[in-house]
Amino acid sequence: MNKKQLDIQRKYYVSNYLQRGIDHLRIARLNKGLGFKIAERQALGFHGLLPPAVWTQKQLVEHSWNFLNRKENNFEKYIYLMELLDINLKLFHQLVYEHIEDIMPLIYRPTINQTCPKFHYLTRFPKGLYISLYDEGNVYKLVKNWPSSEVRAIILTDGERALESEDAGALGMCLPTGKSLLYTTMAGVKPVYCLPVLIDVGTNSQEQLNDKFYVGINKKRVTGKIFEELVDEFMRAAVRCFGPNVLIQFDGFSTKHNFLFLNKFKNDYCVFNDDIESTGAAVLSGIVTASKIVYPKNKMGFISYNCFVLVGAGSANLGNADVIVEAMKAEGLTEQEAIDRIFILDSKGLIVKSRHDLNVNKRRFAKDLKPMKTIEEVLKLVRPTVLIGATGAGELFTSEMIKDMAKYNKLPVVISISRPESEAELTAENAYKYANGKILFAGGSNDFPITPVTHRGKTYYPKQAHNSHIFPGIVLGATAVRLRFITTEMFFQAAKIVSKYVTKEEMDVGSLYPSMSKIKEISLDIAVEIAKIGYRTGMALHLPEPKNIKEYILNEQYRNEYVPSLQIHPWGEEERE
């Protein structure tokens, strides 16, 4: 900047925002801390309120990373990160992006399992919107109270499964707030587009009900018609406030309500369910990668060669089954042919047609076979190539089961998505031990990434079957082109894209998923693909269709980098000479 330009900057400046002066230190989206240049500090009127040093954002990230690592445990690290989020928004997201594999477990699972019960002690500023049982008839007024009218993506929970196996009640707000951070960090969805919402209808956690400082509705959880009508009212209020293409992601509901609301709303609203659809796509992605490894000539990763046994019939595994069916249909199978390759067990054994206790989602996969109570019976009959566990019941997959699978498969594929590790059907260590290294394994361990396993001199690097590979890109694409609906095809395509990012070197050491360091590129590719599907099917409401969709979405993404707090341009005859 030459002298004349500097003189102009001192005389005439235009701020990026309506706020002036000291607001740039107080408002997280404006604050740059020591990143403010001296000219900015002087022009905005807070020169002298910061130490004289001027640091680059790179220096600030290094400083924050160093300070974070001085914290003694993950809980303290979480507190520091949330404080940074409330003070310096761009610095927070840049720090997370540069250290994604280390920080993701701190702002999401497993650390939120620790922070949820204490969430009311940790929240200093509003992090989301609370709709309570007593707001019936007035939900629209509450939604309008949200200070941004630019909302494009809502993360909705009732807190019942925010802690996976425990009812968090109102403290379950930690789940949608954590998801909204991942939207931005992993895909570049603008923070102003994101709205975490919790519907509070009580809790069945006696610990919370006995806590005199519990901040939610202090009564047993209300279900049935009253609860469903409250969710209905919220859905109507959301589209009334933010438009018919506002995306609503359901997360942390019970299995019953996951399917109830997905089936009820998917044809009228832009919705998806993270526990069902994102998890299903994540598991499918691992299967696609495994198919490329097992069948080297199968460059496209076709999965129709496989036969599947799914243990557990909750939201996750029924979602897995749905997406697997969609993938096989895309490969040319009929729906029934695809279903015939999938065998599902619940707590009572194999799902068969003679049972009278099956809901509609289970009945779809019922087999015309005699009842079988145990996993061993089913495995001996079916001889599957792929075994998937989602029960949370601990180590159900025994040494004998895995050894048998290794006998009749070149490389058996086992995906155990339950977490924490104490609830997993199979651990990584035991998987390689039981199969003598002859296995492809992915887990749901809370260790992120999963601790490498060395067996007979070879070190394996199994990865998590993690839905965070999937949903950020789905949300980015949907919000960028204003999708009217989310379809199963979009999740199937997202799974294929994630698999494409797994390198041969990663496959050679047992990884079925790519490194999280690639997540922004993965999310962008997913967003572009579902945007194309949206325009092809007439579901994308952003018109006209961009000539270059990728370039358009890139321009829509949030930027973590600091920008000048002053924007100037010559004005008047004197300055233009």
Q: Which one-letter DSSP state was computed for residue 124?
A: -
Q: Exposure pattern of 119-137 as b/e (b: 16+ CB <10 Å)?
A: beebbeeebbbbbbbebee
Residues forming a β-bridge with 346? 349
* Nearest-angstrom CA–CA distance, 100 and 464: 14
CB 469 within 8 A of CB 522: yes
364 is in an annotated binding site: no
Q: Comparing C-alpha atoms, which of 480, 469, 498, 483 is closest to residue 551?
A: 480
Helix (H, G, I), strand (E, B), or coil: what is residue 158?
coil
Among positive and negative, which fits the CA dihedral 271, 512, 107, 165?
A: positive
Q: Which of 127, 179, 292, 329 is catalytic?
A: 179
Q: Which of 78, 108, 501, 513 is catalytic?
A: 108
Q: What would the two tokens of residue 96 be?
A: 């997370």
> What stretches of 69-138 show up as alpha helix (H) in DSSP?
74-87, 89-98, 100-107, 111-115, 119-122
Q: Comparing C-alpha atoms, which of 54, 50, 87, 84 is closest to residue 67?
A: 84
* Nearest-angstrom CA–CA distance, 197 and 70: 33
Parallel, antiparallel or unpaired: strands 194-200 and 270-273: unpaired
275 is in an annotated binding site: yes
Does residue 532 have an active-site annotation? no
At 422, which helix (H) or strand (E)?
none
Burial class of residue 226 (count of CB atoms within 10 Å of its CB; 0-12, 13-18, 19+): exposed
Does residue 432 have an active-site annotation? no
DSSP assignments along 425-472, one per residue:
SS-HHHHHHHTTT--EEEE--SSSSPPPEEETTEEE---B--GGGTHH
Binding residues for a divalent metal cation: 275
Query: Binding site residues for (S)-malate, as ranges?
Result: 161
Residues with a known catalytic role: 108, 179
